[in-house]
Amino acid sequence: MANVINDRIDVRLSKEQKELIKFACALSGFKNLSEFILFCVNKEANKIIIENNQILQSIEDKKVFLDALLNPPQPNKQLQKAQLSYLTFLESNEA
């Protein structure tokens, strides 16, 4: 039989937050507050991971994205023209 190691996370919350969570727990039919909190946290963690992996699926995608943020390319002629058009638009609408 494998050893089960229980770890703890302590969270401070307001009385109102605790009552809200307890109410949701009771409505959901969980046996106790810990079971409800673990269920919700796991569900949200998995959702965040899935969303992250949909946007940047591979490690290479993440490297390319990070490189583009840290070392942005110089603007090309089209981007410079778009910026000039935008600034002209802003100036004409200020008056």
Q: Which two tokens stand for residue 13?
A: 């919350």
Enclosing H/E stretch for 93: helix 77-94
- Taking each helix axis from N to C end, the angle separating 33-55 and 15-28, rounded to the nearest 10 degrees, works out to 90
pLDDT in tens, 76-87: 999 999 999 999
pLDDT in tens, 29-47: 999 999 999 999 999 999 9
pLDDT band for position 57 (50/70/90)?
A: confident
d(CA 62, CA 64): 5
d(CA 45, CA 80): 41
Residue 29 confidence (pLDDT): 95
Whether pLDDT at 53 is above 80: no
Whether pLDDT at 59 is above 90: no
How confident is the prediction for the chain on average, in pLDDT? 89
d(CA 88, CA 82): 10
